[in-house]
Structure 1
Amino acid sequence: MVPSNIVFIAGHARLPQGMAAKNVYDTLTITAEIERKYGVILEASCTLATEHGSDFIGRLLRGISLADGVEEATSLLQAQYKGKAINALTAAVKDLQLQFQSLKEDDSHNVRIFK
């Protein structure tokens, strides 16, 4: 059973032409298990064409807090991923952070309703 303080969210972005993954997917998706209160990424994966690529991105993002914004994640991606999907990965991380912010807004709204 998954603890109630863990949520699963996804960020999406378009893939560039000429990528192997483009033959399977039109978009790149980063999925992540997030600790709800602090926004820390516990596990992440993505729809790159290889399992190795997905695992690498997961390890790179693990431990980053989306509550602090996306600067750390995008800096790590820019520094350590050297492939055609860099812009899509960066956009998907930004969308992941937007999904987290939306979740936090929903949480704060629900707290006000049920108090």
Structure 2
Amino acid sequence: MNNVIFIAGHARLPGGMAAQSMFQTLTVTAELDRRYGVILECSCTLATEHGREFINQTLRGYSLRDGIEGPVKAIENNYSGKAKNAITAALKDLYKQFEMLQKEND
């Protein structure tokens, strides 16, 4: 399992959402291949299992070594819901965590 890393990104949820009553923030987590930065599995704190699985299917396979633009665009083009901005912000935060890990390992 040394070739897999786990990182998380966080963002504030908008008011009026089901998930917002449970959490103040949305979290996106990802298991990444350490060498290539590919998202192997991904999850988030959306309220429904269906939503969480959709995010996983949408983001799986992207390499963070290629930047965060691809995953963000995938969410912007394919997800329509109140949490869209929070998901993209959490992805950007997750990417910052990835960049910090890369700098530490260089």
Interval containing the TM-score (normalised by the shorter chain): over 0.9
Inter-partner Cα distance in structure 2 for 1:18 and 1:37? 40
Structure-1 separation of matches of 2:8 and 2:14:
19
Opposite residue 36 of structure 1, the aligned amino acid is R
SS for the counterpart of 1:104 is helix
State the match for 2:18 in structure 1.
Answer: 20
How many residue pairs are counted as aligned between the two chains? 106
Q: Which has the larger radius of gyration?
A: 1
So what's the TM-score if we normalise by structure 1? 0.90
- Displacement of 1:5 in angstroms is 1.1
Aligned to 2:31: 33
Query: Given the alignment, which residue of 88, 93, 99 partners 1:90?
Result: 88
Find the counterpart in structure 2 of residue 112 from structure 1. Answer: none
TM-score normalised by length of structure 2:
0.98
Amino acid at match of 2:76: Q
Deviation of 1:53 (Å):
0.4
Residue number in structure 1 paired with 2:63: 65
Q: Deviations over 1:36-85 (max 9, x none)?
A: 12110000000001111011001100000111111101111011000000
**Considering only aligned residues, what root-mean-square deviation do their CA atoms show, in Å?**
0.6
**Matching residue within 102, 108, 115 for 2:100:** 102
Runs of 4+ residues over 2 Å off in structure 1:
none
Percent of aligned positions with the same letter in both sequences? 58
